[in-house]
Structures are given as structure tokens and as C-alpha cells.
Amino acid sequence: MLPYLWNYRGRALVALACLIMAKVANVGIPVVLKGIVDGMENHRETLLVLPVALLLGYGALRVSSTLFNELRDIVFARVRYHAMRRLATEVMTHLHRLSLGFHLGRQTGAISRDLDRGTRSVSSILNYMVFSIIPMVVEFSLVAVILLSNYDPVFTLVTFGTVAIYIAFTFAVTEWRMDYRHTMNRLESQSNSRAIDSLINYETVKYFGNEKLELERFDSTLDEWEEAAVKSQSSMSMLNFGQGGIIGLGVTAIMFFAAGGVVDGSMSIGDLVLVNAFLLQLFIPLNFLGMVYRQIKYSLADMDLIFKLMEEQPEVQDRPNAPALVLKAGEVQFSHVGFSYVPERQILRDVNFTIRPGQKLAVVGHSGAGKSTLSRLLFRFYDVTSGAVLVDGQDVQAVTQESLRQVIGVVPQDTVLFNNTIYYNLAYGRPEASQEEIEAAAGMAHIRQFIESLPQGYQTLVGERGLKLSGGEKQRIAIARAILKRPRILVFDEATSSLDTQTEQAILETMQEVAENHTTLVIAHRLSTVVDADQILVMDEGRIIEQGTHRQLLTQGGVYRDMWLLQQEERQMQLEQAE
């Protein structure tokens, strides 16, 4: 954690100085109290004036202890919260740097929960170290010096022997209890993830009437969590009782020796008061040591999740000193590309094609043919297994991911919008764009009229993942923000899949306009959307089995022609049903 403290090392040192001053004042209180008691006891018969100086000193030490404690809190607040902020930002940066494969394999709810617990654990550890552990060590050291220099070593032996037994007992039992805490953490993350997953897929749950199934899954996890929580609480009660017993025995032994010292005259009443005050000051905070140790252990367990996350390495990484992509005309080439997510399942096999600058190339085929994988490889969500993907003759693996992605605009099949305004989601394509540019892009995507008809216009909230909008409206917003990005290369991945026939035709006209001066890759299932393409590739099981223009492919009488005739029949049936 030292790197997170280094930026405010000056403040940390000042806070440490305040802590020491507070503990010096705190330990000085029993010493002054002893002087007051002994002074009044020794001059009880002739006492005419109160020991004003000692009483004022007593009050000053009380005030100083509180003052320095509060100053420590004020000075250290910036250190503590800056460390939380920095860790949270670094984790988020790292999560965005990780590859798509990692995020597809992880549940968002679990990551969110781990991030929340991990950042809070930084604050907890700093809090306990500065406000509990270090003060306790300082105070114990000061008390040890006073006891050893002024009293029989038996007092020091009993006091710190009790402390040692207490700490050993606390650590042993807490270690045993940690299994319950780990189980609780795991089940809490799991239940949270299941809850978020079911709420994100609210419509799917309703379609199939599976509310009961989702609640049963959620409750079954909480049932296991409840059992672990009960065992954790029961074992904590046992720990607390053991701690109380050790403290009680230690206090009794110390008071027994102190009382004996007063009786035989080796100690004064003031000494008895001093030893008693030290015991109160030591053992009252010591009573919280078990809780502090447990919390530190829990916080370390929580932090461990974060640092394990930080150790995850992106599957796709820039090469050392990789240059930025130098964009020229925007030519895209797939050269003998092979790819597999796992070795056992080959997705693409020796795929070869070139999209010339300003050309529109379409890829069609049945589901699972590997069409969408092409866009993911071009955008470099994954690296090819063999061959190369080139942009203007530059291997995308040899340039920085950031520079590559700046020149590519993607309209995905499944458009996900941020839970924010329509304006925010449109402006996401180019945040610095002006209002006029955003409205122009919305107009090109045939969504402007719809937006302006809404009561709140561009400030309308779209809901979680854009649930308040129809599929077609979300798709048109996705097209508008891709247009706003002004990329040289455009990828439409089933971009009209959610649109009705009329809207689809309007979007196709827009896509034709937009694609005129762009290198365009269109991945489509509906063949009617690609009839104007300069080149059409037909894929099956990761291979290109046919290629040509729409007319050439119909003439060949192969798979493309069969797909075209089948889709025309389906379209005709839909029109007849609509009538």
C-alpha cells in the first residue's frame, strides 16, 4: 500500500506526529493524576490550597489528547480518501484494458461487488493502522517505559504477558473463523451477481414466467450465506468471551500486586491510581483488538480479490513501443486468417479477402459461420491464430489498439446504451461534437424526428441498457453515433436486424450514403440489405465458399441463391399475413 501513500507522505508524517503527541498526552494523564493524589494524601492535614498547577496540567493533557487525535484525523483524511480514489481508478483503468474474452467470462455483478469491497478495504486498513494499531503500539511502549523505570518488573511482566496471551488467542481463533468469512464473501458476490443478472434480463424472465426460478436461485444462495453467517457470529461470541476472560484475569492479577504494594508501603495510593489508570487505558482499547484484527483480515481478504484482478493480463496487448496506425486510404485485408477461441473449435479457416478504399464488402451466411468474428478480429478484440489482418498494409497486431480503433466505427447487432440521456448516448461517438453535429448525425440515421417528438427531446433517459427504447430506435442511435465518430472504416454487424421493413429501407439508404466515401464491411443475415455491395462473401463453417456480386452469385446457383429464394419466400409470406 506504500505507493498509494507516497503522494501524501508529508501529510502521513504529520498525522503520525499528531498521533504520538496524542499518546504522550494520554499516558501523561495518569502520571499527573498520581501527583495530585499523592500531593493531597501527603499534605491532607495541612492542605490549604488545591494543587492548581497539577489540576491545570491534568486538564491541559486531556484537551491536548483530544486535540491531537482530531488533528490526526483531519490531516490523514486526504491520505485515506486519495488512496481509495487512486485504487478505484486504477482498477477501472485495468478492467477497461482487459480483453473482451475476460469480460465475456466474468459476471458484472461479482466484479462490481469485488471492486466496492476492495476499495473500501483500503480505507479500512489505513483507518485501523493509523487509528488503532499504531496508537496502541505507541501507548504500550510509553507505558512499558514508565512501568519498568518506576515499578517492580512483575507489573510489566503481568501486563504484557496478558497482552501476549490475549493476542495469541485472538489470532488463533480469528484464523479459524476466516473460513466462514471467505464463504460469506463468495456467497454474497454470487447472490449479488444473480440478482443483477435476473434484473438485467427482466424481460426474458417475464417472457418465460421464471420469476419463481430466479427467486429460488437467489434464495438458495442466501440460505447458504445465512448458515455461514450464523456460524461466524457464534464463533465470534466464543472469541469475545475468551478475550474478556483473559483481560479479567490480567486485571485481577495486576490489582492484587498493586494492593499488596500499598499495604507493605512500597507503593503509594497515587501509584495504585496510576497503575489502575494505565490498565483502563491499555485494556479498554485492547478489548477492540480482536475486532480490529478481524476487520484487517477481512479487509485483506477483500483487497486480495482486487489485487488478483489487477494481476489479470490482457489477452490482447500492444507490442513494446508499437507505433500508431498510419491511416492512408483505409484498405482492409484479411490474409490467410485462421482463428479459434479454444484449440478444439476452429472458427475461421484460411479466410482471404480485401476491401478496397471506398468499397462495400458484405459477408453473409448461416448462424455460426464466423461472420461476426471477422469484425472482432478487425477491431482487435482478439488476435488471429494464424495469418494477418492488415489496414493499409499494416498488421493490426503491430500497431497500438487505440490508434486502430479510432479509425473504425462499429454498429453492432446488439446495441447496448448507457442508462443516461439520448444526447449522452449520441455524443458518445465523439464527446467533443457540437449540438448541431449531433443533430445532423441523428438526422442521417433517421432518428432526429422521433427524438424531437419526445417531451424531453434529447434529454430523455433511455433506461438500463436502453430498455425504454424499441430495438429499431436503439439501432438507429447506434448508427448515428457511429456516423458522428467520423471513422474511415465502417463495420455494420447485422445493423438492420431489429428494424421493420420501412425503417430498414430508410436505414439502407443512409448506409449507402455514409458508405460512399468509407471502406465498409457489412455482416448481414438479411440478403436484401447487401444487394448493392461491391463484393459479397458467403461463409460456411469458417470458410469462404462463394464470392461475387449479388447478380453473379444468383447466376452461380449455389448457397447464396438458395438463401435468397428462401428469404424471398419468407418475405412474401409476411406480406400476405400483414394484408
**H or E stretch at 523:** strand 519-524
- Of 548, 489, 545, give the one whose Cα is nearest residue 514: 489
Using the predicted structure, report yes or no on whether residue 335 has a pLDDT greater than 90.
yes
Q: Using pLDDT thresholds of 50, 70 and 90, give the confidence band for residue 579.
A: low
pLDDT of 336 reads 93
The whole-number average pLDDT for the span 470-499 is 81
The whole-number average pLDDT for the span 483-510 is 75
Asked whether this chain's domains 2-311 and 332-578 adopt the same fold, the reply is no
pLDDT in tens, 502-512: 666 766 776 67
Extract the C-alpha cell encoding 11.
501529510
Burial class (CB in 10 A: 0-12, 13-18, 19+), 265: exposed
User: Residue 337: beta bridge partners?
Assistant: 351
Q: What is the CATH number of domain 332-578?
A: 3.40.50.300
Dist. CA 155–CA 147, nearest whole Å: 7
Looking at per-residue pLDDT, the higher value among 55 and 161 belongs to 161
Torsion of CA 2, 6, 8, 10, to 10 degrees: 100
Residue 336: helix, strand or coil by DSSP?
strand
Query: What would be the CATH architecture of the domain defined by 2-311?
Result: Up-down Bundle (1.20)
Using the predicted structure, report yes or no on whether residue 577 has a pLDDT greater than 70.
no
Dist. CA 315–CA 381, nearest whole Å: 9
Extract the C-alpha cell encoding 375.
469484425
- Of 452, 453, 473, give the one whose Cα is nearest residue 462: 473
Residue 218 in contact with residue 198, Cβ under 8 Å?
Answer: yes
Q: Compute CA 59 distance to the chain's CA centroid, rounded to the nearest angstrom.
A: 48
Dist. CA 579–CA 571, nearest whole Å: 13
The whole-number average pLDDT for the span 438-458 is 88
Residue 491 in contact with residue 410, Cβ under 8 Å?
Answer: yes
**H or E stretch at 345:** strand 345-355
Neighbours of 245 (CB within 10 A): 12
pLDDT of 51 reads 66
Dist. CA 335–CA 326, nearest whole Å: 19
Sheet holding 408-411, edge to edge: 408-411, 489-493, 519-524, 360-365, 535-540, 543-548
Residue type, 14: V
Q: Using pLDDT thresholds of 50, 70 and 90, give the confidence band for residue 46.
A: very low
Dist. CA 309–CA 111, nearest whole Å: 9
Q: Where are the domains of the chain?
A: 2-311, 332-578
Q: What is the pTM of this model?
A: 0.64
For 265-288, the DSSP string reads TSS-HHHHHHHHHHHHHHHHHHTT
Dist. CA 282–CA 270, nearest whole Å: 18
Using the predicted structure, report yes or no on whether residue 292 has a pLDDT greater than 80.
no
